[in-house]
Amino acid sequence: MKKAKIYIPNKNPMQSGLGKTDKWILEYEVENPSKNPLMGWESSSNTLSELNLEFSSKEMAIDYAKKMKIEYELIEPKKRKIVKKSYADNFLK
């Protein structure tokens, strides 16, 4: 049976924008990964491990997984904590 995880990707830590964080991703899990003896990378003969599907909502991703009989793990996004700061706060303490 195929296994996958459904999640929203984290924002890029090097950028302040939130681009590409509104899509839900269905990513297949790698089964029996082997280590490449030359480079030391993990590899798999299963080509589904290279496939990431994007969905505009969580419900669409879950419906697709159920329709295709894919066992899935749902990873809910964590709430982002926003601390509002002012430039003047650097000089008040």
The answer to whether residue 15 is domain-embedded is: no
The answer to whether residue 30 is domain-embedded is: yes
Q: What is the CATH number of the domain that holds 80?
A: 3.30.160
Averaged pLDDT of the chain = 86
Q: Which residue has the higher pLDDT, 12 or 83?
A: 83
The answer to whether residue 46 is domain-embedded is: yes
Task: Provide the token pair at 27.
Answer: 């990513």
Verdict on whether the full-model pTM lies above 0.95: no
Return d(Cα 76, Cα 66) in angstroms, integer: 18
Q: How many domains does the chain have?
A: 1
- Look at residues 65, 55, 77 and name the one whose alpha carbon lies nearest to residue 4: 65
The answer to whether residue 16 is domain-embedded is: no
| Residue 14: CA count within 13 A, CB half-sphere | 0
Q: Report how far apart the first and last C-alpha atoms of the chain are (Å, whole number).
A: 59
Query: Residue 80 — very low, low, confident or very high, per pLDDT cuts 50/70/90?
Result: confident
Is 64 in contact with 55 (CB distance < 8 Å)? yes
Give tens-digit pLDDT for 1-41.
689 999 998 887 787 777 767 899 999 987 777 887 888 88
Nearest-5° angle of CA 85, CA 88, CA 93? 95
52 to each of 14, 15, 66, 73, 87, how far by Cα in Å? 23, 23, 16, 14, 41
Q: Is the pLDDT confidence value at 74 over 70? A: yes
Task: Name the residue range of residue 50's domain.
Answer: 3-10+21-92
